[in-house]
Chains A and B, each alone.
Chain A
Amino acid sequence: MSKTVKDAIETIPTDEINSISLSLVRSEILTKVIEYCKKHNSAQMSDVDLMDWDVEFANVHYTTLFDLVLSANYMNINCLLDLVCGKIADMIKGKTPGEIAKLFDIKDVSTYEEDN
């Protein structure tokens, strides 16, 4: 599922593989990513159940979501990336710029609105 891991496995000679370094991924996030991959690789659940599971999986604090985005991007897992980005987009939908800045605690020097 992860292209990065797949590429790493393919390029390193097999007898030398002991560990693959994923330096950008924290252990808690890696646990979640592994949970996601395991669930999606097992063919047991129906599509609808899988979607429900995905919704539950993505129902976390937004800081975890950002870590997941970075990890999914680094590990090149497209379906996880789409799931988490979609969830963040849902959080942005329907809000004014001020509300978005407040929600994500964006402390920029000045907003574009003020400048213009």
Chain B
Amino acid sequence: MTVMENKKQQQEECNKGQLKNCQRKKTSSSSCYSRINNLDDGCLMHIFSFLPPIPDRFNTALVCHRWNYLACHPRLWLRVDRSVKDLSEPGVFPNIESAVSASRPGDTILIAAGGTHRISNIQIKKPLCLIGAGEIPDDTMLTCARGSDSALEFLSTCKLANLTVKAELGCCLLHRSGRLTIDGCVLQCESNPLDFLSCPIVSTANSSEVVPSHIKSNSGNGVFVSQTRIEGGAKAVLTSGDLVLQRVRVVYARTSLLFWFDVVQM
């Protein structure tokens, strides 16, 4: 079995997958080693499934057209794009509510950058990861109008990354239970609020009784904030349960404050 015959057969094998945007060049060089783009779609997607969504899988989407198509494939994550006209395309949704209801536990929802996504009182009861698709959190803006209690309400372990959540009145994130991770986001509230109404993070969760408090474990309710800008609001966190603020760090950048803190049981 010569190498060239083998490569041709492999190429035919690869053409099984549907490649809409790809312009694959046949390797005309006499190199006898295989290239990563000779792998068929299924294999490449299997490789991508081993990567964490941010930053790695996201970076793979930027490498070339074919990888972009595969990395954004609905099998790996759901996309929210307000401008989507063709609703029959699987895995792409016009708004966040529909993506959340269509998602399965453990899915990642990628929210397109640019413009504002209006949301209100979205309850998230399954483990999900919401990621903004922009370069900086300010690119992806989620706005919650007056009249809603909160933009997002979490009843399950979730993660938010690279997003801006802005609440005109009321709180940005309402945490009921589970472990909420907020990484590299921006939370904006009213600058001069009525104290009890407007806080970026409100947590009503209680410590779980099962876990003894002296064990530092990965279970138990809590909110874990890192590298997040918090603007406005009377307090950064309002807890009406018995979780407390711990390990607070603040970095005073030129135009904003970056926070790191945990809200956990004592």
Contact = CB atoms under 8 A, between A and B. Distances in A.
The number of chain A residues touching the other chain, given as a range, is: 35 or more
A73 B23 CA distance: 24
B194 interface: no
B42 interface: yes
A66 B240 CA distance: 54
B210 interface: no
Contacts of A108: 23, 25, 63-66
B47 A92 contact: yes
A23 B9 CA distance: 9
Nearest to A97: B62
B148 interface: no
Interface in B26-42: 33-40, 42
Contact of B50 (A74, A86, A97, A106): A86
A39 to B, nearest CB: 22
B39 A66 contact: yes
A7 to B, nearest CB: 18
Nearest to A111: B64
A90 to B, nearest CB: 8
Contact of B59 (A90, A97, A106): A97
Sort chain B's interface into a size bin.
35 or more
Contacts of A69: 39, 43, 47
A85 B34 CA distance: 15
Nearest to B35: A105
Interface in B106-120: none
Contact of A23 (B1, B50, B59, B66): B1
* Chain A interface helix/strand/loop/mixed: helix
User: Does more than half of chain B's interface fall in helix, strand or loop, or is it mixed?
Assistant: helix
A90 B51 CA distance: 8
Contacts of B65: 108-112, 115
A81 B46 contact: yes
A26 to B, nearest CB: 6
B135 to A, nearest CB: 11
A66 B56 contact: no
B6 interface: yes
Nearest to B32: A63
Contacts of B60: 92, 97, 100
A68 to B, nearest CB: 10
A43 interface: no
A85 B47 contact: yes
A92 to B, nearest CB: 6
A89 B50 contact: yes
B15 interface: no
Interface of A: 23-24, 26-27, 61-63, 66-67, 69-70, 73-74, 81, 85-86, 88-90, 92-97, 100-101, 104-113, 115
Interface of B: 1, 3, 6, 9-10, 13, 23, 25, 33-40, 42-43, 46-48, 50-52, 56, 59-68
Given A74-B13, A85-B46, 6 more contacts: A66-B38, A101-B64, A104-B35, A106-B64, A108-B63, A108-B65
